[in-house]
Amino acid sequence: DVVVYCTGYKVSFPFFDEDLISAPDNDLPLFRRVFHPDVPNVFFLALLQPLGATMPLAEAQGQWIADYLRGEYHLPPPGELREDMRRERGAMFKRYVRSKRHTMQIDFDDYLHQLGRERRAGAVRARRAGYRLPVPAQAERGAVAA
């Protein structure tokens, strides 16, 4: 008989330049576990450790990313975004043991509630900005179709 213990998980992104995106000690700070604060066109879906099911959270994250790409959601200003991330991390480390094991821990219900609240706030920001796309279409960047 063989028993395989799968008790560890090392977060790594070998396809990214380490200076761009890396997770030392399994820690990759993200806004609501999706948006990297310095790389606004790379998204992380289901890179979280919930108390509850992952798939409904991944679906909600996917809808949020789609809102963003359609220009129907805008991120908070950088200072607010980073302050929110700092508060969230502080709350996480108060609730869970500060360790490599708990760098992505979230509570299912709290996360969905906070995500819904942020999506609504971002929709207001998007409306005020005229629903500007976060990544301009090729045609808008002066590219000519072949």
Distance of CA 46 to the CA centre of its chain: 8
Task: Name the nearest CA neighbour of 42 among 82, 15, 24.
Answer: 15
Residue 139 predicted with pLDDT over 80: no
Residue 145 predicted with pLDDT over 80: no
- Could you report the per-residue pLDDT of 89-131, keeping only the tens digit for each? 888 888 887 777 778 889 999 999 999 999 999 999 999 999 9
Question: Which residues make Cβ contacts (< 8 Å) with residue 121, sequence separation at least 6?
Answer: 76
- Could you report the per-residue pLDDT of 9-62, keeping only the tens digit for each? 788 888 899 999 999 988 999 999 999 999 988 999 999 989 889 999 999 999
Higher pLDDT, 145 or 138: 138
Q: Where are the domains of the chain?
A: 24-138
3-state secondary structure of 58: helix
Distance of CA 22 to the CA centre of its chain: 14
Confidence category of residue 83, pLDDT binned at 50, 70, 90:
very high
Q: What is the pLDDT of residue 30?
A: 96
CA-CA distance, 13 to 18, in Å (whole number)?
8
Distance of CA 4 to the CA centre of its chain: 31
Tokens standing for 50?
């919930």
